[in-house]
Amino acid sequence: MGIDLAQFHQAFFEESFEALESMEAALLKLDVGAPDPEVINTVFRVAHSIKGGAGMFNFADIASFTHTCETLLDGVRAGRTHLTTSVMDLLLKSVDVMREMLRAAQKKESFDPQKVADLQFDLEVAVARNEPTAAAAPAAAPVPPAAPQTRPAELPSTVWQLSVKPLENMLSRGNEPLALFAALAEHGELSVQAFIDEVPALAEIDPHRCYLRWQLELKSAASEEEIAETFDWVEGDCDYRITRSGPLPAPAVAPPRPEARAAAPAPEVPRAAAPALEAAPVSRAQPRAEAGPAAGGGDAGSIRVAVGKIDELINTVGEVVITQSMLAQLGALVEGASAERLRSGLAQLERNVRELHESVMRVRMLPIGFAFSRFPRLVRDVAQRLGKQIELRLTGEQTELDKTVLERIGDPLVHLVRNSIDHGIELPQERLAAGKPAAGTVHLEAFHRGSAIIIEVSDDGRGLDCERILAKARSRGLVGAGETPSEEAIFELIFLPGFSTAEQATDLSGRGVGMDVVRRNIKSLGGKIDIRSERGRGSRFTISLPLTLAIVDGQSVCVGHETYIVPLVSIVESLQVKASGVNRLSNAGEVISFRGDYLPLLRLHELFGVEARARAIHDGLVVVVEGDGQRVGLFVDDLRGQQQVVIKSLETNYGQVPGISGATILGDGSVALILDVPGLIRSTSRREAA
Amino acid sequence: MNTQQPKSPATEAATHQVLTFVLGEETYGVDILRVQEIRGWSAVTKIPNSPPHVLGVLNLRGSIVPIVDLRKRFNLAQAEYTAVTVIIVLTVRSEAGRRDFGVVVDGVSDVVDVDAGAVKPTPDLGARAATDHIRGLVSIAERMVVLLDIDRLIGAQMLEPLESDAAAQAA
């Protein structure tokens, strides 16, 4: 019966994870001692909506745990529970546990119930300790029974006893009991009593069902037929019985808890019911209104779209761009009376297509705030563990970047921030002794620069210790005893695998894995990381990343009939080389002289096995490219235009090709391969080594 | 009526439609459900250092699809690529997931129903002939049609030569 809820599970999980994030963020905003009621409300609302969702989807353990959490929050909100650091810790821990439980439920794994039970117990203790009267707190604000809807009945009236019991599908068919009662009230004086004895525990509630039944007493002159007529439109959706109880009203048989009209369930409009609900303490009697899934945070109207759909859209728009440029080429050839109109139409099309393309690409862009949002918590935890005082500053959270880049930059950032706190920021007394404020500052900042996004992680700690790094490098034989590398080169050392100056590895950092991984991750995104550091003043790590991985600025080069794209970022210079400029090294290929250096020369046609037009070095051009800090010269026939190209995967249908990072579709619909410059350079150094 | 009813679904399951195409003197067949589209020949972009039977890649509505020359794959005599040369775009499924690729054939013949019972196993032709990629042989209108198992033919090992080639090279 009802809707298959499994299809909504994914949305529930996503929403809940987001909700937890906003809950965490809100918790961290709370001042211990003087909590902002608005923020507590936010936290409460989030917990509440997770509970509602979990209940709706039958995740009983999550719902029950969240309920306990909510009870504590309710106490805080009502001022009964004092928000202490330990309560705060408890709440943050609860967020973690909820997240883990959700994750386990998402993967359909079981979750250690002991862990949940322990924390739940702690929560209950916290509730009980601060709130000795909690147990006695009323479960629901008693609401007087619905005021009898009266209508002056001049005629001698009969008292009708009506019992109404909705069937399972009454609500899902859109029948509203309230409307029925209103219709009955037309006949005379009506009083309604609701029975809630069949309402199950929250966790077992099916939000599509109505668990209430009603006993109505109608004083009316209407005949039985007239009353029965009212039930016509709920026929089949509810069981009802109409009995004449005589001219005198008889008292109800059982004294059920009276239920307010407002408590009548209306799952169709759960959002509307939610605010009313929040005003009252939570009780078992009103659980259904919680079915409303609430998105975390105040978003300005957004919809959830699968990434696959967006990629498809981008793909299709890419095709439109290609078709458009093909038409433009054709349009230029057309002659005749309507040629001018055709061309102006094509020009219009070009503008529209360009705009379309840009807006579609923007769809994939997300503010970096999503990656930043985990830091307040992380910083708080790490600082607490290390006994340091840290103030975290976040700026430029609205800076947008591609979703893929965003997802993959999170871990490197976590690493840098941890390093800053662990290695950079000193202990409070050290800081005071150095004339700095006791609390250290870690600053995360993001901004756009050209077609790149810059993310800076800076701290006002002790800075990198050049001497120690150098000493360590010397002891490991990385730097010769006589060498005195530049400061820059010393900073470079910390990116080496296994390099750490920490005397003792903590559980946070100092194990020497990390900075090399950070750099590798950033490089795999096509970005780079720089360090600036001043002894005693702090360090600044600057990450520069491309805005998107989907597009690259490329230079087309041609070799024979083939066109290749060289990413512009890797091009140093293009030049013509005279035959005398090429030297052969025995057995190790050719080198050219470039600005006083000798660079290996790669003839692309030889490397790729294609027929080239230019055989002699002076017939073609040499494109000097750089990657991984090395330069090589690529010998090609000619240069073509520069253009932005959309990167397509070769691996989807084919596989990895050495020296090629992907493919793109040119204006004429043909495919051009994009060169993987670092890969090409690596392959040459391997060849030279061999 | 009643006696025939249980039979019909079984027959349906056992019959499947096959697209047949010609390659030199032989007729081959592939499961029609694996055919994405049939298109004319157009110039491909070569992939550096690819195996000889991979001609290159084409743009198929925004995705990059490799094109395989089945003549080279089967060690048949070469033919010219002309405007009537046809590319059949197929989908293979392997552990690596779904992949699309095109095969160049001389011409597409027909779509025929093949009864599972009529498919004969491939005779053992000795170690020199790799027959893994052949699902069976079937006779249609007195012609022998070689039913290809494209997952085995090109699935995960698109880049590797057929075993017979490797064996021939080793010999």
**B35 pLDDT more than 80:** yes
> Which residue did the predictor score with more confidence, A151 or A174?
A174
B44 shares contact with chain A (CB less than 8 Å): yes
- When pLDDT is averaged across residues B102-116 and rounded to a whole number, the result is 88
pLDDT for residue A87: 81
Give the closest-approach CA distance of A565 to chain B in angstroms.
Answer: 13
Asked if B49's CB is within 8 angstroms of A657's CB, the reply is yes
Considering only alpha carbons, which residue of chain B is nearest residue A653? B99
Give the closest-approach CA distance of B163 to chain A in angstroms.
Answer: 19
A609 shares contact with chain B (CB less than 8 Å): yes
- Ranges of beta strands (E only) in A390-527 are 390-395, 400-402, 440-449, 452-459
Inter-axis angle of helices A85-106 and A9-29, to 10 degrees? 160
A608 shares contact with chain B (CB less than 8 Å): yes
Q: Which of A1-5, A456-460, A481-485, B67-71 has the lowest mean pLDDT?
A: A1-5
B94 neighbourhood in chain A, CB within 8 Å: none
A318 neighbourhood in chain B, CB within 8 Å: 62
**A245 pLDDT more than 50:** yes
A656 shares contact with chain B (CB less than 8 Å): no
pLDDT for residue A564: 94
pLDDT for residue B29: 92
A610 neighbourhood in chain B, CB within 8 Å: 46, 48
Burial class from Cβ neighbours inside 10 Å (0-12, 13-18, 19+) for residue A402 reads buried
Q: What are the two backbone dihedrals, phi and then psi, of residue A205, each rounded to the nearest 5 degrees? A: -75, 130
Asked if A610's CB is within 8 angstroms of B47's CB, the reply is no
Q: Which of A198-202, A345-349, A465-469, A624-628 has the lowest mean pLDDT?
A: A198-202
Give the closest-approach CA distance of B84 to chain A in angstroms.
Answer: 19
Amino acid at A112: D
pLDDT for residue A300: 60
Give me the percent of chain A exceeding a pLDDT of 70. 81
pLDDT for residue A624: 93
**B80 pLDDT more than 90:** no
What is A368-400 written as a DSSP string? THHHHTTHHHHHHHHHHHHT--EEEEEE-TT-E
Asked if A648's CB is within 8 angstroms of B64's CB, the reply is yes
Q: What is the pTM of this model?
A: 0.53
Considering only alpha carbons, which residue of chain B is nearest residue A652? B99
B130 band by pLDDT with thresholds 50, 70 and 90 = low
Q: Which two tokens stand for residue A395?
A: 């700026």
pLDDT for residue A443: 93
A360 shares contact with chain B (CB less than 8 Å): no
Give the closest-approach CA distance of A564 to chain B in angstroms.
Answer: 10
Cα separation, A291 vs A207, in Å, equals 7
pLDDT for residue A262: 42
Q: Which fold has domain B16-156?
A: OB fold (Dihydrolipoamide Acetyltransferase, E2P) (2.40.50)
Instruction: Enumerate residues 6+ apart whose C-beta is below 8 A from B132.
Output: B149, B152, B163
Asked if B158's CB is within 8 angstroms of A670's CB, the reply is no
DSSP conformation class of A157: -
Q: How much is the mean pLDDT over chain A?
A: 77
A634 band by pLDDT with thresholds 50, 70 and 90 = very high
B157 band by pLDDT with thresholds 50, 70 and 90 = low
Asked if B62's CB is within 8 angstroms of A654's CB, the reply is no
Asked if B59's CB is within 8 angstroms of A659's CB, the reply is no
A153 band by pLDDT with thresholds 50, 70 and 90 = very low
Considering only alpha carbons, which residue of chain B is nearest residue A321? B62
Q: What is the pLDDT of residues A24-49, one digit of tens each?
A: 888 887 777 777 777 888 788 788 88
Q: What is the pLDDT of residues A373-384, one digit of tens each?
A: 888 888 888 888
CATH of region A367-546, choose from 3.40.1390.10, 3.10.620.30, 3.30.565.10, 3.10.129.10: 3.30.565.10
Closest CB to A671 among B50, B57, B61: B57
Q: What are the two backbone dihedrals, phi and then psi, of residue A497, each rounded to the nearest 5 degrees? A: -60, 135
Q: What is the pLDDT of residues A206-232, one digit of tens each?
A: 777 777 778 888 877 777 777 777 777
A629 shares contact with chain B (CB less than 8 Å): no
Query: Domain locations in chain B?
Result: 16-156
**A246 pLDDT more than 70:** no
> Which residue did the predictor score with more confidence, A278 or A439?
A439
Q: Which fold has domain A158-279?
A: Alpha-Beta Plaits (3.30.70)
What is B140-157 written as a DSSP string? ETTEEEEEE-HHHHTSTT
pLDDT for residue B20: 92
pLDDT for residue A100: 85
Which span out of A44-48, A190-194, A579-583, A597-601 was modeled with the highest average pLDDT? Answer: A597-601
- Just give the CATH number of A5-136: 1.20.120.160
Give me the interface pTM, i.e. the ipTM: 0.79
Asked if A653's CB is within 8 angstroms of B64's CB, the reply is yes
Asked if B63's CB is within 8 angstroms of A315's CB, the reply is yes
- When pLDDT is averaged across residues A114-138 and rounded to a whole number, the result is 66
pLDDT for residue A117: 81
End-to-end Cα, chain B, rounded Å? 61
Q: Which of A215-229, A278-292, A343-357, A540-554 has the lowest mean pLDDT?
A: A278-292
Considering only alpha carbons, which residue of chain A is nearest residue B89? A653
Closest CB to B45 among A315, A316, A671: A671
Q: What is the pLDDT of residues A445-477, one digit of tens each?
A: 999 887 788 999 999 988 888 888 888 888 877
Considering only alpha carbons, which residue of chain A is nearest residue B102? A653
Asked if B61's CB is within 8 angstroms of A648's CB, the reply is no
B95 shares contact with chain A (CB less than 8 Å): no
Asked if A659's CB is within 8 angstroms of B158's CB, the reply is no
CA angle A196, A199, A204 (to 5 degrees): 170
Residue A44: which of A290, A239, A284 has the closest Cα?
Answer: A290
Asked if B46's CB is within 8 angstroms of A652's CB, the reply is no
Mutation for B interface: A319, A610, A653, A676, most B CBs within 10 A? A653
A650 neighbourhood in chain B, CB within 8 Å: 47, 57, 64
Considering only alpha carbons, which residue of chain B is nearest residue A563? B45
In DSSP terms, A565 is beta-bridged to: A556, A674
A315 neighbourhood in chain B, CB within 8 Å: 62-63
Q: How much is the mean pLDDT over chain B?
A: 77
A665 shares contact with chain B (CB less than 8 Å): yes
pLDDT for residue A91: 84
**A147 pLDDT more than 90:** no
B63 shares contact with chain A (CB less than 8 Å): yes
Q: What is the pLDDT of residues A489-517, one digit of tens each?
A: 888 888 877 776 555 444 444 444 578 88
Query: Domain locations in chain A?
Result: 5-136, 158-279, 307-364, 367-546, 551-689
Amino acid at A431: R
pLDDT for residue A557: 93
Asked if B100's CB is within 8 angstroms of A653's CB, the reply is yes
A266 band by pLDDT with thresholds 50, 70 and 90 = very low
Asked if B43's CB is within 8 angstroms of A670's CB, the reply is yes
Q: What is the pLDDT of residues A525-561, one digit of tens each?
A: 878 888 888 888 889 999 988 877 777 778 999 998 8
- When pLDDT is averaged across residues A84-113 and rounded to a whole number, the result is 82
- Ranges of beta strands (E only) in A221-287 are 238-246
Give the closest-approach CA distance of B96 to chain A in angstroms.
Answer: 9
- Ranges of beta strands (E only) in A196-274 are 213-220, 238-246
pLDDT for residue B96: 65
Q: What are the two backbone dihedrals, phi and then psi, of residue A457, each rounded to the nearest 5 degrees? A: -115, 115
CATH of region A551-689, choose from 1.10.10.10, 2.40.50.180, 3.40.50.740, 3.20.20.140: 2.40.50.180
B101 shares contact with chain A (CB less than 8 Å): yes
